[in-house]
Amino acid sequence: MNASPAAAQLLAEVKFDAQGLVTAVAQQHDTGEVLMVAWMNGEAVERSLATGEVHYWSRSRRRLWRKGETSGQVQRLVEFRLDCDGDTLLLLVDQHGVACHTGRRNCFFRAARDGALVEIAAPVVAPETLYGSHPRG
């Protein structure tokens, strides 16, 4: 990776884990809605900062992933924050469309009610519309 000097300075502050990853929380910048949680490696951080579009590392597919690359549901990076321990990122983003691969606005649509999980949000778009036969992204 050839990080820019500016990105290199930021990257040096991030404590990546043994797998080279850091947890990233994506929050809609204006409403405060927590959209999703995913993982980033150094390159994902660097590309997100350089392009202004959020990139993650897919642990299941073992590759870099630009959010929305298949679905069109991109995340524009508004602000990049790091926590006190340096091991978690908070990304303030502007989410185009829906963040969740199920077609829901955010991934946290199940909530505990009387000891059971219930769905508190319905899909706003059909997942097939987002992905067709492609893997999610």
First to last CA, the chain: 22
User: CB–CB of 116/125 below 8 Å?
Assistant: no
User: Is 81 or 134 the residue whose CB approaches its own copies more closely?
Assistant: 81
CA 134/CA 113 separation, integer angstroms? 34
Determine which residue in the list 36, 40, 54, 98 makes contact with its own copies, applying CB under 8 A: 36
Using alpha carbons only, how large is the chain's radius of gyration in Å? 15
CB of 106 to its own copies, least distance (A): 8
Determine which residue in the list 117, 122, 124, 126 makes contact with its own copies, applying CB under 8 A: 117
Establish if 79 lies at the interface with its own copies (CB under 8 A).
yes
CB of 64 to its own copies, least distance (A): 19
